[in-house]
Amino acid sequence: MRAVHSVLIAAALAAAVPAFAQQTRIEERLTDAEFRAAGLEKLSQAELARLNELLARGAAPSAAAAATPDVEARIAQAREEGRREASVAAETAVRPAESREPVESTIPGAFTGFARGREYTLANGQVWRQTDNASIAGARGQDVNVRLRPGLLSVWWLQVDGYNREAKVERVR
């Protein structure tokens, strides 16, 4: 839908530009109210003449002509800061499991069943959080073996040995 709107706006502008460009001076193109609303009455005669010259050519001031060394330096600095922030974010972001291979491990200590939001720390150091409402009534165990298998659309399923129920989980770290 957005693409259709963009095409329609571009077509309307393309149709309007030739009629707009036929008038030579900005003062003739705009009403007095539009001229004042745009703040153009503040321009000096030289600035107004330059604007009219650019409009007559059908070109707006280029970014290179408008940019000063100070502006270019600030743009370069902002780009570098953005790269650094993206790098830090990538390093500290929680990453999904690197592979889509099933994982077999144990949950050291006591296992008291499934519950939404519960985190399971595996013996291999991975931490997984349950995201669904699966439960196992009366489940208890010590150092239980677990299997994690990938599902569709980046979903992972946790199953505890001895129980036929699986819980949907996501990797925390």
The encoded tokens of residue 172 equal: 């925390």
Pairs from 101-106 (Cβ < 8 Å, separation ≥ 24):
101/150, 102/147, 102/148, 102/149, 102/150, 103/147, 103/148, 104/145, 104/146, 104/147, 104/148, 105/145, 105/146, 105/148, 106/143, 106/144, 106/145, 106/146
* Residue 74 confidence class, pLDDT cut points 50, 70, 90: confident
Task: Report the C-alpha gap between 116 and 160 in whole angstroms.
Answer: 15
Percent of the chain past pLDDT 70, that is, above it, reads: 73
Stronger pLDDT, 86 or 150, i.e. the higher one: 150
The encoded tokens of residue 37 equal: 């609303």
* Residue 100 confidence class, pLDDT cut points 50, 70, 90: confident
Alpha carbon distances (Å) from 118 to 62, 115, 160, 170:
57, 6, 14, 11
Domains in the chain: boundaries: 1-61, 63-93, 103-171
pTM, rounded to two decimals: 0.44
